Amino acid sequence: MRKILFVVMFTMVLLVSGCVPQNERITAYRVPHLPRPIARERAIITPAGQGVEGLVISQITSQLNIRNRFWRKVRGKDLSDRYDCVIIVLGISHGNMKRLKTDLTQEQQRLVELARSAKERGMAVVLVSMGKLYRHAGTDAISEAVAPHTDYVIVVGDGNYDGFFERLTAKANVPLTIVSDIEKIKTPLNSVFR
Amino acid sequence: MNGLLADRDKFWQGLLIAVSALVVQRLLEKLYWQVLVKIEESILNKDSGSLILAAGVLVGLDSLRALPVFLGAFRAAEALKKKNGVLALLVAGMIIIAIFTVLYISQPGQWDWGVPLVVFLSAVALLLIWGRGILRFWHKLIILSQLLMGIYWLSVAPLLTHFGFGRGELPASIKLAADYLDAHGTLNFFSFAFFLPFVIIAVITTGLIDNYSKIIQHINAAKEQEKQIRRVRIAAAQARILEELHALVHDLKTPLTTIQGLSSLLEMTSSNAKQREYAGKISQSVENMNDMISEMLYEEVRKPTSVHALINYVRAQIILENMNQKFYFYIEENLPDIEVNKIRLARALVNVIENAIRATESMSGGEIIVSVKKQDGGVKFTVEDNGKGISQQDLARIWEPGFSSSKSSGLGLTFVRKVVEDHGGHIYIDSRLGKGTRVTIVIPRG
């Protein structure tokens, strides 16, 4: 009986260890929040894909008393000394893009150019994903294009369900914070400035 | 494909309605943008009321866009023959998937199959299974609108996101805003508070229409029964009248026998030659009258009759005074004698001519043409008028006892057909509403 129990237990341990996601093997730099601030106020918050996600982050940032400007179509040339941080919030709205006469390709070009300019000016670039429901092929493409210029990535909820952000941040050697819900995003967001 | 269709036009109408959803989506595009504006307003003002309003507008727009898809798909499915039930389901499903795919491609970011699937299953239950054959187009329109308005609320319920509901951009944005406003509970509550009543109303509506159509079916069946009873009563009345007429005509024979006896006596006993001649004529007339009565009483009595004599007898019975119509008689020469019951056949022809007179009496330029020709060894009588004519619907019923397109007793044509058929002949009626009627009677030589 004990032998059988041992065999069953051993098999279960093997099975469980086999089920552990491959993501665990990625050497991602996961933190609960940044250990020290990387930017000063004011921040520019821009939506990557013109979804309402950017507006939500702008409102949360304001609740944290961090001065910010929600700027839908900010470009690299718009950056100035008044700003020290760019927060790119992933979230696509085809309706808003059509309304603002832009598309995904233009958005990607704008954001890559924005992130590159921000880096050149010594500004911090933060990438935020609001979860699985708000991830599309388009947002993933933007994330991959912007990642090399990013200083910090924050993912809400099940946004990293497939390990995408872990792989991305590991490759770019960027710290990553995954929070369980939208309310918990305040801590890592605050840690960027304070 | 045509072999599977019971109604080809209905199928194409259905497809056309379904495809019209693309136009509807195009028309609604700017209103969809307004939903985005409302969501952003609710985030900026931290107002969950605005968010519920935005959700309501989105549900309305999505329902409006989906209505032609489902309405058209089910119409197309119903156009298939009844035995192809499973195929009808497949056709409806395929049309819905195809149109939604095109809709989603033309308006990216709207991919969401949870709600369409639930609407499809509910609509199959209510429209194709419960309401098949009893629901009209407008009934389906109302029931589908109620279903869509209810079920689309599920797309904005955060509780159901994990089950595949509301994965499109706009529902996702509403859910994100609800997350930020901590209004998950409120949005779930409103979603179900609207979903349940609308779906329940759709079920009740289907039930009410089902009951209503059953009542209508009962009423129609009762009306049909009433009509049949009326027909039987008329036939019975006709039989009774004929019986009484028979008795009356038979009674005419008694005084005729007396007249004939006395005139014969007078002829034999009178010394005056003139009186004898008159008495002989009286006897001859009485004999003729006796023969006529016999023909009236006994249908099977037939005598060789000249067609000219028959037509003259008919003409003598038609009152042509004060008539606006023009009357034409064309009688072919050298017509053979026919063996007929003169009195009954003449009466039948008079009935037909009187119908023609009635059809032309209230118009100017009315014409009635009676022609008689040889045909296949027999004789063909044609009565033609340019009067008001008979509708195709009435034409199918003119042989029914009691039916009349005018204000007559409705027994005329039934009697005519009986007399013609008793003589081994045929009767045909051609008529066009507003153009006139032609009645053709063919009587064999006998």
Which stretches of chain B drop beneath a pLDDT of 50? Answer: 408-410
Helix (H, G, I), strand (E, B) or coil at B327: strand
pLDDT at residue number B403: 65
Q: What is the mean pLDDT of residues A174-184?
A: 92
pLDDT at residue number A23: 43
In angstroms, rounded to a whole number, what is the distance separating the alpha carbons of residues B247 and B32?
Answer: 87
pLDDT at residue number B359: 87
Whether B390 and B349 have beta carbons less than 8 Å apart is answered as: no
Q: Does B106 touch chain A (CB under 8 A)?
A: no
Cβ contacts of B182 on chain A, cutoff 8 Å? 183
Whether A81 and A71 have beta carbons less than 8 Å apart is answered as: no
Whether A173 and A149 have beta carbons less than 8 Å apart is answered as: no
Angle at B261 between CA B257 and CA B264, to 5 degrees: 140
Helix (H, G, I), strand (E, B) or coil at B432: strand
pLDDT at residue number B241: 83
B119-125 long-range contacts, CB within 8 A, separation 24+: B119/B66, B119/B70, B119/B147, B119/B148, B119/B151, B119/B152, B120/B70, B120/B92, B120/B93, B120/B96, B122/B147, B122/B151, B122/B199, B122/B202, B123/B70, B123/B74, B123/B147, B124/B89, B124/B92
Give how far the C-alpha of residue B305 lies from the chain's centroid of Cα atoms, to the nearest Å: 45
pLDDT at residue number B409: 45
Partners of B331 in the β-ladder: B372
* pLDDT tens column, A89-127: 999 998 899 889 999 999 999 999 999 999 999 999 999
Q: Name the residue facing B33 among A51, A99, A130 (closest C-beta).
A: A99
**Minimal Cα–Cα distance from A154 to chain B, Å?**
16
Whether B324 and B364 have beta carbons less than 8 Å apart is answered as: yes
pLDDT at residue number A18: 42
Q: Does A102 touch chain B (CB under 8 A)?
A: no
Average pLDDT of every residue of chain B: 87
In angstroms, rounded to a whole number, what is the distance separating the alpha carbons of residues A155 and B28?
Answer: 34
pLDDT at residue number B186: 93
The reply to whether residue A93 touches residue B36, judged by beta carbons under 8 angstroms, is yes
- A15 pLDDT above the threshold of 50: no
* Cα Rg, chain A, nearest whole Å: 19
Residues 6+ apart with CB under 8 A from B351: B412, B413, B415, B416
The candidate with the shortest Cα–Cα distance to A133, out of A155, A102, A100, A111, is: A155
Q: Does A51 touch chain B (CB under 8 A)?
A: yes
Q: Does B155 touch chain A (CB under 8 A)?
A: no
Q: Does B184 touch chain A (CB under 8 A)?
A: no
CATH number of the domain located at residue range(s) A25-193 in this protein:
3.40.50
Burial class, B201, CB count within 10 angstroms (exposed 0-12 / middle 13-18 / buried 19+): middle
Q: Does A155 touch chain B (CB under 8 A)?
A: no
* pLDDT tens column, A46-90: 999 999 999 999 999 999 999 999 999 999 999 999 999 999 999
In angstroms, rounded to a whole number, what is the distance separating the alpha carbons of residues A108 and A140?
Answer: 11
Domain locations in chain A as residue ranges: 25-193
Token pair belonging to B88: 């009808």
Cβ contacts of B43 on chain A, cutoff 8 Å? 52, 55-56, 59
pLDDT at residue number A25: 47
Residues 6+ apart with CB under 8 A from B195: B150, B151, B153, B154, B157
In angstroms, rounded to a whole number, what is the distance separating the alpha carbons of residues A87 and A126?
Answer: 5
* pLDDT tens column, B401-431: 666 655 544 457 888 888 899 889 999 999 8
- A14 pLDDT above the threshold of 50: no
- Start-to-end C-alpha separation, chain A: 60
Residue A24: which pLDDT band, with cuts at 50, 70 and 90?
very low
Q: What is the mean pLDDT of residues A185-192?
A: 93
Nearest chain B alpha carbon to A99: B33
Cβ contacts of A55 on chain B, cutoff 8 Å? 40, 43-44
pLDDT at residue number A10: 54
pLDDT at residue number A21: 44
The candidate with the shortest Cα–Cα distance to A78, out of A17, A35, A130, A123, is: A123
Cα distances (Å, whole numbers) of residue B344 to B292, B312, B354, B441: 10, 14, 15, 14
The candidate with the shortest Cα–Cα distance to B197, out of B160, B149, B165, B159, is: B149
Residue A28: which pLDDT band, with cuts at 50, 70 and 90?
low
Cα distances (Å, whole numbers) of residue B223 to B226, B228, B399, B411: 5, 9, 20, 22
**Minimal Cα–Cα distance from B162 to chain A, Å?**
10
Q: Does B328 touch chain A (CB under 8 A)?
A: no
**Dmax over Cα atoms in chain B, in whole Å?**
136
Q: Which CATH number fits domain B303-443: 1.10.3720.10, 3.30.565.10, 3.40.50.2020, 2.40.50.140?
A: 3.30.565.10
The candidate with the shortest Cα–Cα distance to B424, out of B353, B339, B307, is: B339
Residues 6+ apart with CB under 8 A from B405: B390, B391, B394, B398
Domain locations in chain B as residue ranges: 8-226, 232-297, 303-443
